[in-house]
Amino acid sequence: MNLAIITSSIVNVSLLVILCIGFTFTYMMEKFPNFAHTSYASIGTMVAFYLVRFQGFNPYFTWPVAAVIGGFTGILLYLGIVQPIKNRSMREITLTFTFYIISQMITSGLAMFSYWLLIETGTPSSGFMLRTFDFRVWGVPGICLMAPIIMVFLVLTLNIFLYYAKYGIAMRATAEDEKLSSSLGVNVDRMHLASWFISGALSALAGAILPMWMGTSVNYSDVLLVSVMAGSVLGGLDSINGAIIGGFLVASSKKILTYYLMGILGPWIGAYEELIPTLILFFILAIEPNGLMALKGKNVSVAGIKESLLRFRKTIWNLLTTE
């Protein structure tokens, strides 16, 4: 395996883990999949691109700025949309559809930003790329070092916060049972606000990191959403640690599996790299919808796995043979 595949896997794992943590945060607290989550990443991309290209910022100094803007975007969406819908006792499906619409609105905003760059400044922006502004260490782009460092830092910090800090424990309690937490004196509204800030900040941070490694198109957030959902579902939507494991497995398997398949089937298979997260999502939903963390404490055996696969094959066969 060459250096390019290894470095690409490292950056992709770092990005996907950060995004999966944020996606799972929202699901744990609100019990609906936030289809606009990867669109926050587009906000981070816009902030980083503008500050670097037009304000002369070091690209790494844009990360905290993008994270703060993404965090406050999350708070505004909670106060302006989520809270009013929940106060009217509407079902979670309403929030799901609403945030799908919001994702399209953010994508349109990115398209308008791209058009403005082209018309007003003459800057081609079909793909937002900041790789030329990066430093290199022994020939390796700095992002290959900084992305995993920030990912590990966030993972450790969030685990300490959620399991040892009083505020983090209150947030986990709110996710488990909001009514009981409220009766015990926890300010649940504050917990929701904090979770939306964290989720938005993580996504925008990933978006600021992204153009340091690859050019992103206007619609890239839709492609990214499938990988994030695959990682979060694989790990288990009710577990932050599951999101970390799932994000790692999906991102690494996408790059490494594509590399080996290209060696076996030919270079053409590389065009279908994004199909791998879709297949992972499909299989995990069919075999174990609650993800890997649901297997914790269960008596998992080879026979049990074979039985699940047989049930899955039977289901597919029935679908294909039903008129």
Q: Express each pLDDT in 6-25 by its tens digit.
A: 787 888 889 999 999 999 88
Q: Using alpha carbons, select from 220, 206, 219, 192 the residue that is nearest to residue 66.
A: 206
Please report which confidence band the pLDDT of residue 317 belongs to, taking 50, 70 and 90 as the band edges.
low
The pLDDT of residue 296 is 58
For residues 108-115, average pLDDT: 82
The pLDDT of residue 293 is 64
The pLDDT of residue 1 is 56
pLDDT higher than threshold 70 for residue 297: no
Helix, strand, coil shares, percent, the chain, to 5: 80, 0, 20
Task: Give the Cβ contact number of residue 105 at 10 Å.
Answer: 12
Q: Using alpha carbons, select from 12, 194, 229 the residue that is nearest to residue 99.
A: 229
d(CA 145, CA 153): 13
Q: Which of 16-30, 161-175, 276-290 has the lowest mean pLDDT?
A: 276-290
Domain boundaries defined on the chain: 3-274
CB distance 225 to 252 below 8 Å: no
Angle at 235 between CA 231 and CA 282, to 5 degrees: 55
Residues 150-160 pLDDT 10s? 999 999 999 99
DSSP letter (8 states) at residue 270: G
Element spanning 241, H or E: helix 240-265
The pLDDT of residue 321 is 60
d(CA 236, CA 91): 22
d(CA 184, CA 180): 6
pLDDT higher than threshold 60 for residue 299: no
DSSP letter (8 states) at residue 78: I
Structure tokens at 158: 């969030």
Please report which confidence band the pLDDT of residue 195 belongs to, taking 50, 70 and 90 as the band edges.
very high
CB distance 174 to 29 below 8 Å: yes
Looking at every residue in the chain, the average pLDDT score rounds to 82
Dihedral in degrees, nearest 10, Cα atoms 182, 185, 80, 49: -110
Q: Strand locations in the chain, DSSP E?
A: 136-137, 140-141
Residues 55-67 pLDDT 10s? 889 999 999 999 9
The yes or no reply on domain 3-274 and CATH 1.20.120 is no
For residues 184-203, average pLDDT: 91
Q: Which amino acid is at 271?
A: A
Please report which confidence band the pLDDT of residue 318 belongs to, taking 50, 70 and 90 as the band edges.
low
Q: Using alpha carbons, select from 167, 229, 291, 188 the residue that is nearest to residue 32.
A: 229
